[in-house]
Amino acid sequence: MLNATVSLLRITKSPTFNAMTSKLNREELTELKEFLTERMVDNMSTKDLEQYVADDLFNYFDKLGEHEFLEEAKNYWDDSFDEVVEDIKSYTKSDFKAQNRPCDS
């Protein structure tokens, strides 16, 4: 990761990079972003994609207020929400948390 950061710093400070980027208009820059996104996603493994989505969803939920998060959860689980909450309460009190999350089965 450090090598990639150092390389990126070298690239962004180079006169060639600055000349290249200054020639891109907003539409071209957006297109370049979309293309880079496509390429990066295409090169990710299923496991990497799953981890990325899981991290993104957790960060999304974590930024919500308690009320908004609970609304999201209620909408997702619908009639099962109360049962899921009870399972989570039991799970958090258990000694075998890492292996037996109630929602993993």
If asked whether residues 86 and 67 sit together in one domain, one would say yes
Return the pLDDT at 95: 78
Return the pLDDT at 22: 73
If asked whether residues 98 and 64 sit together in one domain, one would say yes
Distance from C-alpha of 59 to C-alpha of 40, rounded to nearest angstrom: 21
Over the stretch 47-101, which tens digit does the pLDDT of each residue have?
A: 999 999 999 999 999 999 999 999 999 999 999 999 999 999 998 888 776 555 6
Over the stretch 35-44, which tens digit does the pLDDT of each residue have?
A: 999 999 999 9
**Largest Cα–Cα separation, the chain:** 60
If asked whether residues 56 and 29 sit together in one domain, one would say no
If asked whether residues 82 and 100 sit together in one domain, one would say yes
If asked whether residues 75 and 88 sit together in one domain, one would say yes
Instruction: Show the domain range for 64.
Output: 46-104
Return the pLDDT at 94: 84
Three-state DSSP class for 77? helix
Question: Does residue 1 have a pLDDT over 80?
Answer: no
If asked whether residues 99 and 62 sit together in one domain, one would say yes
